Amino acid sequence: MLWMCLCVIVFLPISTRCSTGPFHVVGPGHVLHAVAGEDLVLPCTLKPSISAEGMTVEWFRLNYHTAKPLVHLYKDYRAQNDNQIQSYKGRTSLFQDDLKNGNVSLKLSQVQLSDEGDYKCYIQSEIYDDDNLVRVIIRGIGQAPLLSLEDNADDRINLVCESGAWKPKPSIDWLDHEGRILNAEPPEELSDAQGFTVKRQLTIHKNDTKRFVCRVSQMDSRIDTKVTKEAMVQIPSKKKYNFMVSA
């Protein structure tokens, strides 16, 4: 009797989601610094460089004041940001074309001072997950000083200098035409979500026909960088004042 053996080979589709073994989520390894108004990329990649297209990519804030601090969620091959923190609406995105290479970095557009903090990049496949921490520091470089003045009844003039949107808090000084710091009123300070606003008044005699400079300086020890902005007023013999601003 002749026996025949029939072999059937069945090819089963292999899901890229199931085929992903252990991986590591790698962050930048250092604190990220940005200036308010800039765009910022929070680097995050998979090692080895496997595709993240079929995975869940979740970016969220740590130690945030809301119960669900979602910054960006990619799941089932698309962004799903219905529960995103309101202040991030329309400002977050992934590098969609580079997900296949394991790039799960987050692009944050037009950063705000409130964006400063710790972020977690959490990646999950069907069989494995990992995360990494990214710390972000946002600096506010404020506005050019705004000068105003008013005449006093006792033959004096009040010069007022004000500048806002700074972080960290700057110093503010009045200087004479030779660059010497003058004895002005104590500075006033206000802090809100837009940063620090500083204001300072200098009182002079009406016959002081000289140049006066308001200088606002910020020293950020976190990155060892100093920024200075100045505004100048020229007091003439006649009541016609000249203002100049330099950044």
From residue 15, alpha-carbon distances to 8, 43, 227 in Å are 22, 27, 54
What is the Cα Rg of the chain in Å? 29
Q: Which residue has the tokens 């990649």?
A: 45
- pLDDT attached to residue 25: 97
CB 166 within 8 A of CB 196: yes
- pLDDT attached to residue 210: 83
Specify the DSSP class assigned to residue 7. -
The pLDDT tens digits of the residues spanning 141-181 come to: 999 999 998 877 678 889 999 999 999 999 999 999 889 99
Q: Which of 226 and 215 is assigned the larger pLDDT?
A: 215
**Percentage of residues in the chain having pLDDT higher than 70:** 86
Average pLDDT over residues 121-137: 96
From residue 119, alpha-carbon distances to 13, 29, 104, 156 in Å are 36, 13, 13, 53
Average pLDDT over residues 119-130: 96
Q: Which of 226 and 73 is assigned the larger pLDDT?
A: 73
What's the order of all strands across the beta sheet hosting 195-205?
146-151, 156-166, 195-205, 188-192
> Band of the pLDDT at 102, cuts 50, 70, 90?
very high
Domain 146-246 indexed as CATH 2.40.50.140: no
Q: Which residues contact 235 (CB under 8 A, 6 or more apart)?
A: 157, 204, 208, 209, 210, 211, 212, 241
Please give the class, per CATH, of domain 24-139: mainly beta
User: What single letter denotes the amino acid at residue 80?
Assistant: Q
Displacement of CA 49 from its chain's centroid (Å): 28
- Phi first, then psi: give them for residue 110, nearest 5 degrees: 50, 65
CB 119 within 8 A of CB 12: no
3, burial (CB in 10 Å: exposed 0-12, middle 13-18, buried 19+):
exposed
CB 215 within 8 A of CB 175: yes
Boundaries of CATH 2.60.40.10 in the chain? 24-139, 146-246
What's the order of all strands across the beta sheet hosting 129-139?
32-35, 129-139, 117-124, 56-61, 70-75, 78-79
User: What's the number of CA atoms in the CB half-sphere (13 Å) around residue 142?
Assistant: 31
Does the pLDDT value for residue 10 go beyond 60? no
The whole-model pTM stands at: 0.79
Q: Which residue has the tokens 């950063």?
A: 111
- pLDDT attached to residue 243: 52
The pLDDT tens digits of the residues spanning 56-80 come to: 999 999 988 887 799 999 999 999 9
The pLDDT tens digits of the residues spanning 13-40 come to: 333 333 456 899 999 999 999 999 999 9
- pLDDT attached to residue 3: 39
> Band of the pLDDT at 239, cuts 50, 70, 90?
low
CB 32 within 8 A of CB 135: yes
Q: Which of 225 and 174 is assigned the larger pLDDT?
A: 174
